[in-house]
């Protein structure tokens, strides 16, 4: 059994359907417990996910957040309460859980996740990947901006040790950091992960576990041609459609957009009886 965590609002409900469809198709026979942290989703959406999960043989655990939990948190249109959910997951999820994989909703799973689930990261809070790209420029800029020495990790895929998180992640310390550094946070939740917990992150291979779908040419160049499309389809488990350009929007120009659109069609058919 693998535990999967997702957080979203109703605008990303179509992408949730695509993500879950890809998960089911590319991990046949695997049992997933799907945990959803949310603040306000229509009941018909939650019921549709429940019905689909039941048909897939998965357990669905929607957990509505109490606004009072974030009463002392700096919250605004730029810093919505939802940005805290993944970092505070150890405090928000049932205490009997000890490990979970967090996935952003703008993701396709194209190979099994079990090897990630079984990764030995004893003593580390998180497993995450850095998108270093063709050069170290982005890493260097973010190190300087946040005053850290480690790589700048992407927060869209996280393997989380929930037991350690309950010991080490203090909500008040996170809220205090946001209050004191709010002018410096460019990507608030990701900046928080790196600034506060970057030294407690076990590095994952982004080409396998958090492939930036915008950067195909960079992956090919940095691997001297090895990470071509065939390699990606055989080895990459998680395709992450990072950034503002999204494959479900008009004008998407990157290589794996057509693959995402294929899964959109599959999701449309497989979810129709449950909507």
- What residue ranges do the domains of the chain occupy? 2-274
Q: Which fold does the domain 2-274 belong to in CATH?
A: Spore Coat Polysaccharide Biosynthesis Protein SpsA; Chain A (3.90.550)
DSSP 196-229: HHGGGEEEE-HHHHSEETT-HHHHHHHTTT-S-H
Strand 238-240 relative to strand 211-212: parallel, antiparallel, unpaired? parallel
pLDDT over 60 at 139, yes or no? no
pLDDT digits (tens, 9 = 90+) for 153-211: 999 999 999 999 999 999 999 999 888 987 777 777 888 899 899 999 999 999 999 99
What's the pTM value of the predicted model, to 2 decimals? Answer: 0.93
Most distant pair of Cα atoms in the chain: their distance: 52
SS3 255: coil
SS3 265: helix
SS3 99: strand
pLDDT digits (tens, 9 = 90+) for 212-259: 999 999 999 999 999 999 999 999 999 999 989 999 999 999 999 999
């Amino acid at each position: 059994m693998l535990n999967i965590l997702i957080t979203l609002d109703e605008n990303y409900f179509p992408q949730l359907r695509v993500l879950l469809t890809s998960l089911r198709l590319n991990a046949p026979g695997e049992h997933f417990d799907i945990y959803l942290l949310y603040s306000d989703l229509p009941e018909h959406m939650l019921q549709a996910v429940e019905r689909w999960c039941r048909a897939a043989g998965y357990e669905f655990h929607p957990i509505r957040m109490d606004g009072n939990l974030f009463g002392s948190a700096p919250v605004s249109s730029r810093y919505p309460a939802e940005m805290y959910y993944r970092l505070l997951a150890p405090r928000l999820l049932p205490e009997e859980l000890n490990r979970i994989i967090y996935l952003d909703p703008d993701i396709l799973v194209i190979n099994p996740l079990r090897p990630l689930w079984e990764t030995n990261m004893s003593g580390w809070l998180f497993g995450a990947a850095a998108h270093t790209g063709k050069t170290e420029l982005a890493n260097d800029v973010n190190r300087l901006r946040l005053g850290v020495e480690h790589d700048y990790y992407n927060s869209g895929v996280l393997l989380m040790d929930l037991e350690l998180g309950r010991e080490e992640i203090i909500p008040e310390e996170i809220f205090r950091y946001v209050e004191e550094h709010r002018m410096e946070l460019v990507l608030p939740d990701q900046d928080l992960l790196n600034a506060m917990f970057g030294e407690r992150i076990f590095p994952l291979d982004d080409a396998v576990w958090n492939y930036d779908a915008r950067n195909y040419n960079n992956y090919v160049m940095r691997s001297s041609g090895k990470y071509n499309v065939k390699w990606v389809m055989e080895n990459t488990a998680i395709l992450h459609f990072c950034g503002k350009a999204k494959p479900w929007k008009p004008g998407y120009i990157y290589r794996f957009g057509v693959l995402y659109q294929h899964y959109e069609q599959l999701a449309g058919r497989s979810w129709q009886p449950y909507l």
